[in-house]
Chains A and B, each alone.
Chain A
Amino acid sequence: AQTVTQSQPEMSVQEAETVTLSCTYDTSESDYYLFWYKQPPSRQMILVIRQEAYKQQNATENRFSVNFQKAAKSFSLKISDSQLGDAAMYFCAYRSANNNDMRFGAGTRLTVKP
């Protein structure tokens, strides 16, 4: 079974600085999708960014970008110019292209200091 590991339970960053959240996963598949979801205190899960495994180019969404290393099975999230509103739990997720199973990591709680 695929597992997703987020080794940083908590991270903090100064406002306007850059922070990187780590995610690794274990799979024997070659075709899959990776996601980062954000869960603010309101509990609403929101998609931040997604990456197709067959694409070598790293996905970017405004201040959010990923460093996808397929061989290393690593999928880190970089948040640039951090804002107070970025404070939340961030979950890394894996979904196989061959089945419908979705696996989430344990989450990283990000604190943004003013």
Chain B
Amino acid sequence: DTAVSQTPKYLVTQMGNDKSIKCEQNLGHDTMYWYKQDSKKFLKIMFSYNNKELIINETVPNRFSPKSPDKAHLNLHINSLELGDSAVYFCASSQSLASYNEQFFGPGTRLTVL
């Protein structure tokens, strides 16, 4: 029944590794997002996808790449992980890109880079 799900919930890895976080929504939404929440709880949007096309690409390093195999999934791939990548990553979805739409968030993935 979970509307927006993410796996894994926790991810601990070494610097330099490549990892992926998966996100799925079963709401039939057209738009999905990735956010990063740092240790100070500051939440910042990284990407959004609408109908499988990247709409926003904030100034994040190109080591981060979103991949959407279909409308219900938006996975986040991170290459060459760095210490500063440690954070909680949230996936979200909304019915459309319209600004008034509520965004539904996943439970987050806590990434720790050692």
Q: Which residues of A contact B (CB under 8 A)?
A: 32-33, 35, 37, 42-47, 50, 52, 89, 91, 95-97, 100-102, 104, 106-107
A91/B43 in contact, CB under 8 A? yes
- Contact partners of A33 in chain B: CB under 8 A: 99-100
User: Assuming A50-B102, A95-B100, what are 5 further A-B pairs, CB within 8 angstroms?
Assistant: A32-B99, A33-B100, A43-B108, A45-B105, A89-B41
**Interface SS of A by simple majority:** strand
B59 to chain A, nearest CB (A): 11
Q: Which residues of B contact A (CB under 8 A)?
A: 33, 40-45, 48, 55-56, 88, 90, 92, 97, 99-100, 102-103, 105-108
- Contact partners of B45 in chain A: CB under 8 A: 101-102
- Closest A-B pairs by Cβ, 7 of them: A45-B105, A104-B43, A43-B108, A95-B99, A107-B41, A47-B102, A97-B99
